[in-house]
């Protein structure tokens, strides 16, 4: 087999094909059970698809859009595109026709790959306005033939007949570290998304930076469950390219909604997630535990007490001795091992949390039971990982020290600045925006505010664009207050309001399952969520919870008024980005009436 310089992910993939051959490379659900495809099988699919792309005359540097949920075909398409030196432009599977149109058009994509029939329909709706797109390729088999549309299986069959197969090897060898690999469009919490240009060198550098500290945790013996969108750089780097570089097998969850079931089926060794999954699991366990009575309840509560005592030891990768050591072993045997097995966490060695702040209470809940959750930090523009907690050096509430070869410093206004080999090339066709996000001495301006402690650990304290400046001129970071409020078992989601206002208020979405149980115990009658949130006793309870979970904040940071909302925020309803971040401007517009009701005009 041809030897490649490991300066690109396709070259690293080819090395692993040579090393791991018939071992499982990916696993996916087929006929209700998970089945494997080997490294050799994936290589053949990738090559045949790449041959097809070459037969179309796809040149090095050509842009190809990929609009699909996570699946092994995403891996095939991505690796084929990169192998021939073309540029992949991923689109969130949840994006609308118009959002997809903007990305395909702005990126100058010449081909578009759709995942399902539904994604194909979304592209066909806007196809007439995309003259540069010569063809659409769809992963799923489709019932009706459409001009200009071909299925992946048809493309692979055609690729097999391509004569100039040595061109594939030439293209991989021609890739340089500064060559563009992808354009990832930011979720766009404000305005149109910007196209982040990441190079082959960015990805290889970031993967190697992570492996410097984690090579023992991502090996050919390990399995990773993939469920965060591959169109996002966190999953792309840490859940996909990192797995390739370490030789781990990637199992694909069917959907985000099936993650709990797929976790139990796969029992992965490592996962990469956003905080929402850990929040949901933690809340679900506590909700179920609340219904348990007698000795079982006492045992569970005792195990929580032991877990709290055990947390500092897990953070330092040490085992407690003496009485606590005995209690930990007993709690694990009676409670934690059963809980971990039920969750599919019994083989987890590393669980990563990124893409947003993880509440300390959520982190400590899992850590206490011996589930090592490592919070990290990064942005699409940094490929994305810049900081992460390390095993044996975990500090809940911190995102850990910087990765190897990464310089982090704090600007005079508190903004986090980053320099390193993982920092992007710039924004596509947007030199003005590129210039604005770099300092004169070449540091990337993250837009996040933070502090670094004496051990070099970074703490994120807010986001510049989210900072609330009250009418009295006080600067307040809503993120910290919101995270604290979400520690209440009765609060699911919250947005703190108060920019240019005389005091802070909050829009609150209760944890309806937990709140409903409480209401029934109080004898409160309700037919739906609307009736529940209009009840005076319910509002009194939430007021008490707000007071309880914000007592550590200063007077100006207290929530004076709040409004309960009856439906959870989601991406489908427009309040969340594809990475589940709150779109504050959308919320302020959508709930303007409710917000104004908390600020009466005659109130001084």
Name the nearest CA neighbour of 125 among 105, 90, 152, 96.
96
pTM of the model: 0.90
Contact 269, 349 (CB under 8 A): yes
Q: What share of the chain is helix, strand, coil (3-state, %, to 5)?
A: 40, 20, 35
Asked if the model's pLDDT at residue 572 lies above 90, the reply is no
Structural element, H or E, at residue 284: helix 275-290
Biggest CA pair distance of the chain = 79
pLDDT score, position 604: 45
CA atoms of 26 and 224, how far apart (whole Å)? 9
pLDDT band at 292 (very low <50, low <70, confident <90, very high): confident
Query: Residue 464 class from Cβ within 10 Å (0-12 exposed, 13-18 middle, 19+ buried)?
Result: middle
Query: Residue 520 class from Cβ within 10 Å (0-12 exposed, 13-18 middle, 19+ buried)?
Result: exposed
CA-CA-CA-CA torsion sign (131, 82, 406, 243)? positive
Runs of H (alpha helix) within 56-184: 72-83, 97-106, 117-126, 152-160, 166-174
CA atoms of 604 and 600, how far apart (whole Å)? 9
Structure tokens at 181: 């690999």
Phi, psi angles (nearest 5°) of residue 350: -140, 130
pLDDT tens per residue across span 226-280? 999 999 999 999 999 999 999 999 999 999 889 999 999 999 999 999 998 998 8
**What residue segments make up the domains of the chain, in order of their start?**
274-426+434-463, 467-597
CA atoms of 321 and 269, how far apart (whole Å)? 27
pLDDT tens per residue across span 82-109? 999 999 999 999 999 999 999 999 999 9
What is the β-pairing status of strands 373-378 and 385-388? Answer: antiparallel
pLDDT tens per residue across span 308-350? 999 999 999 999 999 999 999 999 999 999 999 999 999 999 9
Residue 540's CB is within 10 A of a number of other CB atoms, namely 10
CATH architecture, range 274-426+434-463: 3-Layer(aba) Sandwich (3.40)
pLDDT band at 7 (very low <50, low <70, confident <90, very high): confident
Q: Which of 314-318, 515-519, 583-587 has the lowest mean pLDDT?
A: 583-587
CA-CA-CA-CA torsion sign (236, 240, 241, 243)? positive
Residue in the structure block whose two tokens are 């050591």: 325
| CA-angle at 215, arms to 209 and 217, nearest 5° | 125
Q: At what angle do helices 39-55 and 166-174 cross, to 10 degrees?
A: 90
Which residues are registered as beta bridge partners of 185?
195
Measured CA to CA in angstroms, residue 271 lies from 39, 329, 352, 572 at distances of 21, 25, 6, 25
CA atoms of 81 and 76, how far apart (whole Å)? 9
CATH class of the 467-597 domain in this structure: alpha beta
Asked if the model's pLDDT at residue 4 lies above 80, the reply is no
């Amino acid at each position: 087999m041809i030897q490649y310089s490991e300066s690109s992910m396709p070259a690293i993939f080819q090395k692993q094909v040579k090393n791991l051959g018939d071992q499982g490379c990916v696993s996916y659900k087929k006929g209700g059970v998970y089945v494997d495809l080997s490294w050799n099988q994936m290589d053949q699919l990738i090559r045949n698809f790449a041959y097809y792309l070459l037969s179309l005359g796809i040149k090095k540097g050509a842009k190809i859009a990929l609009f699909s949920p996570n699946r092994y075909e995403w891996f095939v398409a991505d690796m084929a595109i990169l192998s021939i030196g073309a540029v992949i432009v991923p689109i969130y599977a949840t994006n609308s026709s118009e959002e997809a149109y903007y990305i395909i058009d702005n990126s100058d994509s010449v081909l578009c790959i759709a995942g399902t029939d539904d994604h194909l329909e979304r592209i066909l709706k806007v196809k007439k306005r995309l003259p540069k797109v010569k063809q659409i390729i769809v992963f799923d088999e489709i019932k009706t033939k459409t001009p200009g549309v071909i299925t992946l299986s048809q493309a692979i069959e055609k690729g097999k007949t391509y004569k100039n197969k040595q061109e594939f090897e030439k293209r991989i060898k021609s890739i340089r570290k500064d060559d563009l690999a992808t354009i990832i469009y930011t979720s766009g919490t404000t305005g149109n998304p910007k196209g982040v240009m990441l190079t082959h060198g960015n990805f290889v550098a970031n993967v190697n930076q992570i492996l410097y500290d984690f090579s023992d945790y991502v090996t050919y013996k390990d399995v990773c469950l993939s469920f965060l969108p591959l169109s996002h750089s966190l999953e792309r780097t840490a859940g996909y390219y990192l797995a390739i570089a370490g030789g781990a097998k990637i199992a694909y969850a069917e959907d985000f909604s099936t993650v709990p079931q797929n976790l139990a089926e796969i029992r992965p060794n490592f996962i990469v997630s956003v905080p929402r999954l850990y929040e949901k699991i933690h809340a679900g366990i506590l909700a179920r535990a609340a219904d348990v009575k007698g000795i079982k309840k006492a045992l569970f509560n005792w195990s929580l007490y032991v877990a709290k005592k055990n947390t500092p030891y897990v953070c330092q990768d040490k085992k407690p001795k003496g009485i606590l050591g005995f209690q930990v072993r007993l709690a694990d045997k009676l409670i934690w091992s059963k809980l971990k097995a039920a969750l599919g966490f019994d083989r987890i060695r590393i669980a990563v949390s990124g893409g947003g702040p993880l509440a300390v209470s959520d982190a400590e809940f899992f850590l206490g039971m011996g589930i090592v959750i490592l919070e990290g930090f990064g942005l699409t523009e940094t490929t994305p990982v810049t900081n992460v907690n390390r095993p044996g050096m975990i500090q809940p509430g911190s995102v850990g020290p910087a990765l190897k070869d990464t310089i982090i410093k704090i600007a005079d206004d508190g903004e986090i600045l980053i320099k390193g080999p993982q920092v992007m090339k710039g924004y596509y066709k947007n030199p003005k925006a590129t210039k604005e996000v770099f300092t004169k001495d070449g540091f990337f301006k993250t837009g996040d505010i933070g502090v670094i402690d004496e051990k070099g650990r970074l703490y994120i304290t807010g986001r510049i664009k989210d900072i609330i400046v009250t009418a009295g001129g006080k600067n307040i970071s809503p993120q910290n207050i919101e995270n604290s409020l979400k520690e209440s078992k009765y609060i699911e989601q919250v947005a703190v309001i108060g920019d240019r206002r005389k005091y802070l208020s909050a829009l609150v979405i209760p944890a309806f399952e937990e709140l409903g149980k409480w209401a029934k115990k109080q004898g409160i009658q309700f037919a739906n969520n609307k009736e529940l949130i209009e009840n005076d006793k319910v509002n009194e309870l939430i007021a008490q919870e707000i007071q309880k979970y914000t007592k550590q904040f200063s007077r100006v940071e207290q929530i004076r008024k709040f409004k309960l909302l009856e439906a959870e925020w989601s991406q489908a309803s427009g309040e969340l980005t594809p990475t589940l971040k709150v779109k504050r401007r959308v919320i302020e517009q959508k709930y303007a009436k409710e917000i104004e009701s908390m600020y009466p005009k005659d109130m001084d």
